[in-house]
Homo-oligomer: A and B are copies of this chain.
Amino acid sequence: MMSKSDEEVTHTENLLSLKYESLDYDNSENLLFLEEERRINHAAFRTVEVTRWVICGMIGILTGLIACFIDIMVELLAGVKYQVIKDNIDKFTESGGLSFSLLLWATLNAAIVLVGSLLVAFIEPVAAGSGIPQIKCFLNGVKIPHVVRLKTLVIKVCGVILSVSGGLAVGKEGPMIHSGAVIAAGISQGRSTSLKRDFKIFEYFRRDTEKRDFVSAGAAAGVSAAFGAPVGGVLFSLEEGASFWNQLLTWRIFFASVISTFTLNFVLSIYKKKPGDLSNPGLINFGRFDTDVSDALHLFIILTKCGIVGALFNALNNWLTIFRIRYLHRRYLQVVEAVLVAAVTGAVSFVMIYYSTDCQPLREGAMEYPLQLFCADGQYSAMASAFFNTPERSVRSLFHDPAGTFNPQTLGSFTLLYFILAVWTYGLTVSAGVFIPSLLLGAAWGRLFGILLTNIPNSVCTTWADPGKYALMGAAAQLGGIVRMTLSLTVIMVEATGNVTYGFPIMLVLITAKLVGDFFIEGLYDLHIKLQSVPFLHWEAPVTSHSLAAREVMSMQVTCLKRREKVGIIVDILSDTTTNHNGFPVIENDGPARLCGLILRSQLIVLLKHKVFVERENLSITQNRLSLKDFRDAYPRFPPIQSIHVSQDERECLMDLTEFMNPTPYTVPQEASLPRVFKLFRALGLRHLVVVDNHNKVVGLVTRKDLARYRIGKNGLEEMSLAHT
């Protein structure tokens, strides 16, 4: 995504990129930290806890507001667009010359998407896509540059409004999760580095651990706003994101989710001039299914076979993404592709509507923009209700329009074309989510399936009268087959349909879709994480990795520092671009190299910047006093070593690391098996794990990439190669 300008980027799946740094989800408990913690009494901790709840509330409110903003803007922009096109089509239907309408539609789409794509490609490429893989990585402990910056949020919000309005086969739900996460990261730090404003609040939370917890809450609030599913949001955060689980944290996440849904509902109810009517949850609202599902279990078995369709989607998109990484890495090419897809989407939609002969009687309030075209008066083109609409509305009409609204030919050709468009669209350089296109696709073939089943003469199965139910099951199967969530998706779907009796069939569909899909290929998000060569730590070490020991996986080139180290040596080590280490075990000055602590590059940088030196001759002189505040102020964008000037005299000074290093880093012996190391590393969210021999001497260092590079391949355990691209 963040491409270089070489002509062709070689790309292999067996690559792990070294360009990603890790986050530090283990507090560096140095003396400064312990001193501060010991100063804080119980009452003060209670304040901290209350503050956490307040922040979660604010995250919920802001996320809800952003969701409102996106929703309203899309409504307005898409409304204007569809109105213009409808007027145009209505005009030219009679007089002839509909090719002009085709042109108008394609051009309008292309123009809107052009703006959205330009913003993303040239200002903030990380705002592309749904952002869910990136947030997954963040919560996993991988630092994706710029991912939680304010600028990203702005581009994301504008981008998603433009790409949905531009008629692409995308949804605005996925980006809400990213937006929530950015809001959480921003608020919890009490400042914006993009805006260079520091509100001097929430300073206690300026570290990776706390930020991660809030980002989980933000992601949950995003889901909650997108689908009106507060419980689903919490589960999403846990199922997809969590690398860490804690009851108290879960309650806070839940709180943020509830507040987020509530805010969205409240503001939208005012906007829609029905204040207080909170019955309209979420950006996408499936509408209420009021009838119960009864005995039609046999159908789910058939339906769930279609986890295959999801797997096919993923496989095609996987190839396409590899193609894009190899050949479309120039920004202008990416923009061109996005614009092309927009134009094609418009054109195809038009052609489909044009050649469709499926006319349906106009019902009161059923459609926002009914296209009459060549239908008789009082009728409208059914194909248009699928294509000439935002995808959210199309999903709703597939779910709820009465039987007979769509004929099988219409649905069949729609499914096929929309499938191709959706595969092509995901991964474009625009901000957009894959939830809604998946739902739409699934709803279309689900409904088609339902219609066909009803038409089979002498059918042995009882069928549902309402094809909307098939649409719902199809939507669940398709989405489940693509993203492979089960628990959270069940709850999200149930919360969005508002009918618990659908829970059980939806569960069955999702579990089967997952099992079937996993048989063929991974979930879409995992695929994209893999294609980006991110050192992502899965839940467990590969099952057959007990044959490896820490000795074999660790990096041997560890740079150790002495407890009292020469400033010159430190500067040289930090400036060494060939190693570029971020964590340094600290060893005792005298005797064998026994481990006595661990210090991070970022901490050393702050120490150098504040010249915390001791002169060589006079060891008793006290150093400049540093407090935790100095470290927090520099967090998270520590200056590079090149920006710090150290004079030749200063190079001869010493630096006493005792107070600043973490004196109790976690260690493992060299014989520990890889799963054991992995478990420790992941459970505690470590960044560096020191490997020691049985004299407590440092023999190696395990970092994320050392663990992430092992995976189960076709021939058992495989080792990925590391690369700097």
Contacts and interface: CB of A to CB of B under 8 A. Distances in A.
A53 to B, nearest CB: 9
A40 interface: yes
Nearest to A45: B543
A547 B42 CA distance: 12
A540 interface: yes
A46 to B, nearest CB: 8
Given A42-B544, A258-B507, A495-B500, 4 more contacts: A37-B673, A495-B503, A664-B676, A680-B684
Nearest to A545: B37
Nearest to A505: B278
Given A250-B239, A694-B594, A511 B230 contact: no
- Cβ-closest 3 pairs across A and B: A37-B546, A245-B245, A664-B672
Contact of A511 (B255, B546, B667): B255
A539 B40 contact: no
A261 interface: yes
Interface stretch (A374-382, A466-474, A483-491, A604-612): A483-491
A680 B696 contact: no
Contact of A712 (B42, B234, B499, B668): B42
Interface residues of A, number: 82
A246 interface: yes
A615 interface: no
A663 B667 contact: no
Interface in A248-282: 248, 250-251, 254-255, 258, 261-262, 276-279
Nearest to A514: B251
Contacts of A251: 486-487, 511, 514
Contacts of A683: 683-684
A242 interface: yes
Copies of this protein in the assembly total: 2
A457 to B, nearest CB: 24
Nearest to A499: B500
Contacts of A684: 679-680, 683
A38 interface: yes
Contact of A543 (B42, B235, B278, B596): B42
Interface string A1-44: 00000000000000000000000000001000010011011100
Contact of A540 (B235, B246, B262, B499): B246
Contacts of A234: 487
Interface string A690-725: 001011100000000000000010001100000000
Contact of A664 (B235, B250, B668): B668
Interface string A461-483: 00000000000000000000000
A595 interface: yes
Contacts of A262: 504
A220 to B, nearest CB: 11
Nearest to A251: B486
Contact of A487 (B250, B276, B277, B499): B250
Nearest to A234: B487
Contacts of A67: none
A294 interface: yes
A643 interface: no
Contacts of A41: 544, 716
B539 A246 contact: yes
Contacts of A671: 663-664
Contact of A546 (B38, B248, B507, B679): B38
A41 B716 CA distance: 8
B34 A673 contact: yes
A364 interface: no
B596 A694 contact: yes
A511 B258 contact: yes
A253 to B, nearest CB: 9
Contacts of A501: 279, 498
Interface in A311-370: none
Nearest to A46: B543
Interface string A288-311: 000010110000000000000000
A309 to B, nearest CB: 21
Nearest to A257: B507
Given A279-B294, A487-B250, A40 B544 contact: yes
A230 B491 CA distance: 11
A286 to B, nearest CB: 11
A507 B45 contact: no
A397 B425 CA distance: 54
A717 B42 CA distance: 8
Given A276-B295, A595-B694, A546 B261 contact: no
A42 B497 CA distance: 41
B680 A666 contact: yes
Nearest to A692: B696
B294 A277 contact: yes
A669 interface: yes
A231 interface: yes
24 contacts: A34-B673, A42-B712, A231-B487, A231-B490, A234-B487, A238-B245, A238-B250, A239-B250, A242-B245, A248-B539, A248-B540, A251-B486, A258-B508, A278-B504, A498-B500, A588-B694, A594-B695, A663-B669, A664-B668, A664-B676, A666-B680, A680-B680, A683-B683, A683-B684
